[in-house]
Amino acid sequence: MLIIPAIDIYDGKVVRLTKGKRENMHVYSYNPLNIAEKFCSLGVKRIHIVDLNAAFGEKNNRDIVKDIASSIDAEIEVGGGIRNLKIAEELFSCGVNSIIIGTMMVKSFSDFEKIVSLYKDKIIAGVDVEGKYVKISGWCENTSIDYVDLLLRVKDMGIKQTIVTDVSRDGTLEGISPLFYKEVALKTGLDVVASGGVSNIEDIKGLKKVEKFGVVGVIVGKAIYENKISLKEALCSG
C-alpha cells in the first residue's frame, strides 16, 4: 500500500486545515521544498501536494510546485484549482507526474473530457465527500451529486484511480474508516486512495487489511506534522 504524505501549501507555507476551513489553519513550515526533501529521505515514493490558494480561486503556488518536482526523486501528484486544460499543461510542464481533478468534473465536464482524452493515465479523480454527496471549490460548495455516481461516470471514461477524502474527518485526527473505503472500491471498481482523519499507525494497519479490495494507498497529513505517527513506521506498515 502506498503511504503518501501530504504537503498543503497556502501563501508559500506548509499548512493544515481542519475540515477545509481557512479559519482553522495551522502553519507547520515556511519551506515546502525542505519538507518534501525530508519525506524523500525516508523513502517516500509519492507526495501529495495541494495548492490551497489555487483551490480557493486565488493566486497559485506553481513556482514552489516546480521547485519540488525538479528537486526530488519521488512522484508528485498535485491538486487544487485545476480548472482548465491550460493549467493542467502548465503543471505537467513543471514535472508533475499526475494531477488531481475534482471541481472540473462537476462544473466543466466537457473541459474535463478534453483533458482526459489527452492525459488519461495522468489524471486522478479527486472526490471530496460529506455524507454521500460531493463537495467542490475547495469544499466551499455543496452539491447533490452522489459520489459513487460521479466515480462510475469517470471510470467509464478510462480513469483508473481516485482519491476520496472524508471531509468530516479531514484534519481532525479522529481516525479513518477502512470499511468506508472498502465500500468505495467495491462499488466503483477503481483503485482508491483514502484521505481524511488518519490519526495513528492503527489506521494504516486497518487500511492495509482492505488493500486486497482495491484500497491502494492512503494520504497522511496532520498526523505526521503533529507527531502522532512516524512516517518511517507508516512506510514499513504499508
Angle made by CA atoms 67, 123, 203, in degrees to the nearest 5: 85
- Per the annotation, the verdict on 63 as an active-site residue is no
- Give me the pLDDT at residue 68, please: 97
Supply the CATH number for residue 166's domain: 3.20.20.70
The pLDDT mean for the chain works out to 91
Among 76-80, 133-137, 178-182, 211-215, where is mean pLDDT lowest? 133-137
- Give me the pLDDT at residue 212, please: 97
pLDDT tens, 13-65? 999 887 667 778 899 999 999 999 999 999 999 999 999 999 888 899 999 99
Tell me which residue range forms the domain holding 185.
2-237
Contact 97, 79 (CB under 8 A): no
Contact 43, 63 (CB under 8 A): no
CA distance 137 to 106: 10
Q: Give the 3-state secondary structure of residue 35.
A: helix
Assess whether pLDDT exceeds 90 at residue 181. Answer: yes
CA distance 116 to 202: 36
Average pLDDT, integer, range 108-119: 93
- Give me the pLDDT at residue 127, please: 93
- Give me the pLDDT at residue 170, please: 64
Average pLDDT, integer, range 163-169: 84
- Give me the pLDDT at residue 41, please: 96
- Give me the pLDDT at residue 88, please: 95
Assess whether pLDDT exceeds 70 at residue 67. Answer: yes
Number of domains in the chain: 1
Contact 6, 220 (CB under 8 A): yes
**Higher-scoring residue by pLDDT: 44, 102:** 44
Give the confidence band of 166 by pLDDT, cuts at 50, 70, 90.
Answer: confident
Average pLDDT, integer, range 98-104: 93
Q: Give the 3-state secondary structure of residue 60.
A: coil
Total residues belonging to the chain: 238
CA distance 87 to 68: 17
Give the confidence band of 139 by pLDDT, cuts at 50, 70, 90.
Answer: low
Instruction: Name the active-site residue from 8, 51, 170, 203.
Output: 8
Assess whether pLDDT exceeds 70 at residue 184. Answer: yes
Q: Give the 3-state secondary structure of residue 79.
A: strand
Give the confidence band of 76 by pLDDT, cuts at 50, 70, 90.
Answer: very high
Give the confidence band of 133 by pLDDT, cuts at 50, 70, 90.
Answer: confident
Instruction: Name the active-site residue from 51, 128, 166, 170.
Output: 128
Q: Which residues contact 139 (CB under 8 A, 6 or more apart)?
A: 19, 20, 128, 167
